[in-house]
Structure 1
Amino acid sequence: MDKPEIPDDKAKRRPITARQLARMLGVSQSAVSRAFTPGASIAPDLRDRIKQFAEEVDYHPNAIASMLSKSRTNIVGIVVSDMQNPFYPALIEKLSRSLQRVGLQSLLFNITKGSNLEEQLSALRRYNVDAVIIISATILSGQTLRWATEGRAALLINRVVEDADLSCVICDNVAGSRAIADHFYETGRRRVAYVSGLSHTTTNRERQNAFVTRVAELGMVLCARVDAGEYSYEAGRRAAMEIVERGGADAIFFANDILAAGGLDALREEAGLSVPDDIAVAGFDDIALASWPHYALTTFRQPVDEIIAVAVGMIEDGSCYPGRPITIKRLPGELIVRSSSYRISDSSK
């Protein structure tokens, strides 16, 4: 049999498809597919011939196309829409490793602001993933999430969406925010402020309501409540300066750590205040930056490892599959006290 003609360099600039490879070899497309499928029925000499020529023309099987044709893919779609928040890349990295340990791979869908949501989520529906994990997809409504995850296992991490009919795994935001208020009170703070990132999200509402309620219970004064508009460093700087301009606050609770980092720098560099002598600062999450000496940020640590373990377990045991009861699992975190709110050395005096 004549040797198939190998495409020239110009043709090789675009990846060769299985159909093109089959045409070059004079075999069926299914034969090409079977050659690259372990255990598939195909004559050994034909398999070798196909693989040898595929190597010569730099052909690689399309894993996504293969995935679309199978009933089970062992792939989990991860949906996120707030990648500028350092908490989420770190969480996704740990989540993907945990999924790999149980034989599952990850496919990331980053839903960006201002994008065509229907177009992006249509892609999620087309990919034959076994399950979907939504991580703080703040720009997606409950109705949109139901449509995007229809017919497959799905759950939320770090967010509750009341009308989405999806199970979720989340940190106990209420306990964490109350712990921040208690800490401020115990260290002598009496006039406090709260900074939200996105005021409409359930995560923020839980943190804000719990903090404000506990402040009132303790007889403290809430002298400012600022909506920063987003969870970002620059938003934290702007919010801190707004609170300084209003005056009177001796402590600020920022809804997450990246807001608090911006706030800390603004208080020191722009307002010229001493932290914690003039004003105390606390955040939420305990991202890596929080422990850096420049920030030494008091924060409430989310139980990330436990959240991931529970989420992966729910996918493995099928408890988040369609038709199963909806569950909300709130996991306890831990208050981490650092020098942004309290001089640790003072405790020994």
Structure 2
Amino acid sequence: MNIPKQTVTSKDVAKLAGVSQSTVSRVFVEGSSVSEKTKQKVFEAAKALNYRPNAFARSLTTNQSKLIGLVFPDADYPIHMKTLQLISSELQKIGYSAVLIPWQVDGENQHSIPNIFQYRVDGVIAASATFNTALYEECEEFNIPIVQYARVVEGTKSSYVISDNYSAGQIAAQRFADSKLSDVVYLTGEVPTFTNQERVNGFCDEFKSLTGKNPRVVEANYDYGGALEEIRALLKSGAKPQGVFCATDNLAMAFMDIARFEFDLKIPEDVQVIGFDDIPQATWLSYELSTFRQDFTRLARESVKIISNQIKEKDSSLVRLMVPVRFIERNSTN
């Protein structure tokens, strides 16, 4: 049958396969009751005609788009691109596709996204703690399930999957205490988040418990360039820290560069440094950064499992899952 590819419809497939058009439609809807023999006939006819089902038209029939919106702060930080790939892969395994929903910064650093409803997504996975609660309120209004990935926006009632940040803080404190350090710093960014605060609490509580001394908490900037001045100010002060636990690897690398090249400090002999995230640059010979590795594969898998269950089973119960982290020791600690 010589039919131009661009004009092939489900009617053409039905005619070639010897079935009804409604049968063809059911074959391409997951979970429909069609025999394997009939499915094979339809698939062979579709392949012969180079037919591709219209996902949008099918969504009008099934009331499901098979799309999950991914709302991420940006793709510049190395782990964000990796995370997008992992979540997309997990979604594909269960028949869903990912659509990246853009966001923007409005006046006074308020973050927003376009109306979520216009994307016709079945669910949302959000990976930023800097959004205001409008995103979650909108999802609730339109009855769109939303799962928070590796972040928690306080004041929202949605499921989340995060790393065990408190334990990470405890482990960092234990490492410094074992090295007999007495003056240590937690170096953080300018945006307060629940997950980061948990790390601060774990670090301060454990170090106080082990040494009787309180760590200093110094606020800089999550951006490498934006953190440099605060790091200079910290090292110019009379009391240079013996150990620094940084909220991100970016911050740790900024600290290491300033400490070595502007203050002639040796790492780890003069100051020990621990990061968080284990980005690829952490392995570079110029850093060899001791850091914490989050289990992004499991975070992605669990997030997709929760969102899928909420969509298919209409399960609105809150899931709060915490995934262990792993300390990766390199040459920035003793």
Q: Give the match for residue 137 of structure 2.
A: 146
Give the corresponding residue for 1:281.
273
Which portions of structure 1, spanning 4 or more consecutive aligned residues, are displaced by more than 6 angstroms? 61-64, 115-119, 319-322
> Aligned partner of 1:187: which letter?
S
Give the match for residue 180 of structure 1. Answer: 172
Check 1:38–1:109 CA distance in 2 against 1; reply closer, same or farther (3 A cut).
farther
- Cα 1:284–1:182 change in 2 (3 A) is same
Residues 262-277 of structure 1 aligned to structure 2 (within 5 Å):
262-277=254-269
Matched, 1:189 2:181: yes
What is the SS of the residue equivalent to 1:194? strand
Q: Within 5 A, what are the aligned runs for 1:146-295? A: 146-148=137-139, 150-219=142-211, 221-222=213-214, 224-229=216-221, 231-246=222-237, 247-295=239-287
Residue matched to 1:75: 67
Question: How many residues end up aligned between the 2 structures?
Answer: 293
CA 1:198/1:100 → structure 2, altered by over 3 Å: closer, same or farther? farther
2:333 maps to which residue? 341
Percent of aligned pairs with the same residue?
25
Q: Offset at 1:325?
A: 1.6
CA-CA distance at 1:322 after TM superposition: 6.2
Partner residue of 2:290? 298
8 Å CA contact 2:103, 2:111 repeated in 1: no
Pick from 91, 96, 107 the counterpart of residue 99 of structure 1.
91
Q: Secondary structure at the match of 2:254?
A: helix
Q: CA deviation at 1:326?
A: 1.1
- 8 A contact 1:199–1:205 mirrored in 2: no
Corresponding position of 2:309: 317
* Residues 37 and 96 of structure 1: CA distance in aligned 2, closer, same or farther (over 3 Å): farther
Q: Determine if contact 1:284/1:301 at 8 Å carries over to the other structure.
A: yes
Match of 2:300 among 308, 320, 324: 308
- Distance in 2 (CA, whole Å) between partners of 1:337 and 1:89 is 24
The residue that corresponds to 2:113 in the other structure is 120
> CA 1:267 to 1:117, structure 2 compared with 1: closer, same or farther past 3 Å?
closer
| Aligned-partner Cα distance in 2 for 1:67–1:196 | 47
CA contact (8 A) 1:98 1:312 kept: yes
**Which amino acid is 1:121 matched to?**
P
Shift of 1:319: 7.7
Indicate how the Cα distance of structure 1 residues 320 and 226 shifts in structure 2: closer, same or farther if over 3 A, else same.
farther
Q: What's the secondary structure of 1:93's corresponding residue?
A: helix
The residue matched to 2:316 in structure 1 has which SS?
A: coil
Q: TM (normalized to structure 2)? A: 0.78
Alpha-carbon offset, residue 66 of structure 1: 4.5
User: Over aligned residue pairs, what C-alpha RMSD do you find?
Assistant: 3.1
Which whole-Å deviations, capped at 9, do the CAs of 1:150-185 have from their partners, x for residues lacking one? 412210011122321100000000001110110111
In 1, Cα distance between equivalents of 2:60 and 2:288: 51
For 1:178 and 1:117, how far apart are their aligned partners in 2? 32
Gaps of 5+ in 2: 1-5, 15-19, 23-51
Deviation of 1:224 (Å)? 3.4
Q: 1:186 to 1:320 in 2, by over 3 A?
A: farther
Structure 1 residue 283: Cα displacement: 0.8
**Which runs of no fewer than 5 residues in structure 1 stay unpaired?**
1-20, 22-31, 43-60, 343-349
